[in-house]
Structure 1
């Protein structure tokens, strides 16, 4: 058989064909009715509605045979679409184009072919309604008119089908849009709740955990967790998990924490949400998690706090969805992530301002304001503590002889040495000038405090030529009474220690 030439407007023809979304669809009674009528009216055993694709003709409906797909270079219909009028071949054996076609030479020994093109409103011939007979014969004018009418009917049904599909798509789109609006409203309420949550007096970890729970519930995630990176390693906490989840997924936090590598391990530096629509395709997906049915995951950065990085991890499980993360889901995840990050940033600013307000600018120790606040808190809590008040002996002479710059250096060395010696077991405050105070947990003895000074004073001494020392008064919280406050008691003991030191030096001088 000679293959038919390609129409000059082939690209436009194929685009018009694709517009109908008909190829490779199932049987439909409306088209089967047309082919049955064609076979009955024209008294033929074979009839079909065929569409000519790039390299094949595909049959939507057939009567008398079952060959839904034929190569384009071996089909009569490829010739029919080259013209607007029906193609009629009374005897295929006598036509050089078709004499050697397998269907003519072998079973079913087709002899007659007649096809009317299916012409779209745009003028493209996308297929045919054709009839075939095993006997050579001619068709009369009435037969050809019936064939063309039935082809037009098939084309009308195709147009109607396409119109109905578009309407259904519009209805579906409107329904989806309505649902999306409802989801957006619900998500707006969730976002408002996240804002309110971040204003509560919660620790950053508690605030992030509760925000993760709110967000996961709003998008109906199957599993939601909070990931906290510290020193480069993630620690995952489950916030919510469906009870019906596979045990591996329900306890995913434990699996991630025990693993040395996973997708989550790569997310510490994340600055924008990362959506993984097909988890199993990731190179570091955990086999046990894939087997447990995890489909998709999303990681949302929630910001940083005191060297820790916070992420929201949420999962979709079960039957695969084409779009596991809807547009409204992504909008909420991204907006909520920004809200939490902004809250952390604002809180960090407040903390920094508070820290600055409580810090002595010269030495880096806490200042008098901080001392007053912390002392009051200790007293309200009622826990045992020790207060050690001290000043530097010889400091005024140092300022007079070596200058205030050298005096400042001594103060800085002294404060730094005190903090280093305490190793976090207490706080160092500069009340002003050369006067410092320590707030120490539990009950410290005067000897304990002297051991700290035995290290701090020599270090401060390195900053000047003149000789300095320190006098200290120690008072414990259990000693306070209505007659004298704890700072007053410590102050009295410090000056008593200073008096004894001066008396001792005077005695040594005589």
Structure 2
């Protein structure tokens, strides 16, 4: 516990002291001159400019002692900085605060102390100007006044340094504010759903966004080599230039115009153009700012409406004699017109929605991982309304529980080191909806630095349907469509992997090669649909006859294989299972109008851990054994020797 009083503004006081960067610096004549005056005028052996740090007092200027500093716990100045008036101790041996102080009981044997706080611009006390004597004494009011005046000079010197520090800090804040504004502008400029451009006074493009490039069909590099005059339709150019001149002359502060651009492919596209100007501090024109909206579909709809009106007028003029028919046609035409107008309004609403809302879910979080923005697509994707999620931690909202710790660790690592694995790239992750259901999403996360803090913008796209399609495609690529068993292609991936596992675990595996006996006769007698039914039943029986760790495969036609791993008792185990499978195959199969009975010839090849054969050789051995079984009379099992 501290033996000295702690100022109420201790933290603020220490922050200022450290910011001044004056601790542990060489002596300066500006301060030494004042301590010499104190020692001379007050006739004391010791005079100090003392700065009180966290756990020590350090002397910026000293007269009469060799030490640069003392611990704060024995510093008289630690008491003086808490006072609003000078601290005067006439006899330290009679003052309960100091009579046991090591500086009183030992060298330099302080008996008298007078200290005046040194104040900052804001009134914070960072140290003292003090006079010390080894014998008790009194100061006259004039002497105290002199000490206060000299302390004011020291404070003034400190305040000059503080003012320079504040000026530098304000400059840095202004620079940071400008950088933040530029970052916000760049984000809006690049991600806007409408075209935005900065245009030089001569019409050259200075800066364009991707949306404008999409409208006109040029890349940014190509467009920056042109002027807006180059791509403006000749019939619209004079009107545009006239309005632009009015803007330059300050007759108007902006203008809006519907005109046509000529795209790179030579096609005309209607756009809605809004133009304003950017002036320098001196009032000189720097560049124009253009906002470009594609209204081609709107114009096409208007043209259709105009054509429709013309047709109506012609019909009314030529068919006035048949009023009923004309009225019917007019009603139909009006209905069509209303549909066009409704379609036009719908298109405009859709366009407005595109400008205001991204197609993907958009989520913005701060550096604490707390949600700060959430668009309509995010509401739809995850089931949380905008009002519900603002202020909620992201990890407790859409991140599965198993991934939350990794999310927090990654966020902390990036904020501490700048290192990351997921920013500015498309990655696939699992998210969770409000109802607890998970969904796969494709995510792109971008950091943005504003007001000295980091925020993260993420666009999340639900890829559930894509994943389903990929899973179906993968299943179809590796499975037989008729039986649902693995197919020949999968066989040549599964078997080598099983052989590798057997070698690692020092176990044996067996490969059954099964060829159905009499299947061709069923096909010829009952037709291919009956044959397909038989193959499906056989596939089911094979799957039901083996362990979960074993694999059944349809090679094609009436040929099947089974891979049995981790065989414990060798040939007896294998023969027993083969007989079980043979009996299952031989059970009657009910077709639509009859019952079919089929058998099979089974060849077996056994692979031991020390065997040096590959998958192709093992299949060849099993195939040879199968033919040996078939040649021996069919409906039997033969093991390769």
TM range, normalised to the smaller chain? 0.3 to 0.5
- TM-score, normalised relative to structure 1: 0.42
Higher relative contact order (CA 8 A, sep 6+): 1
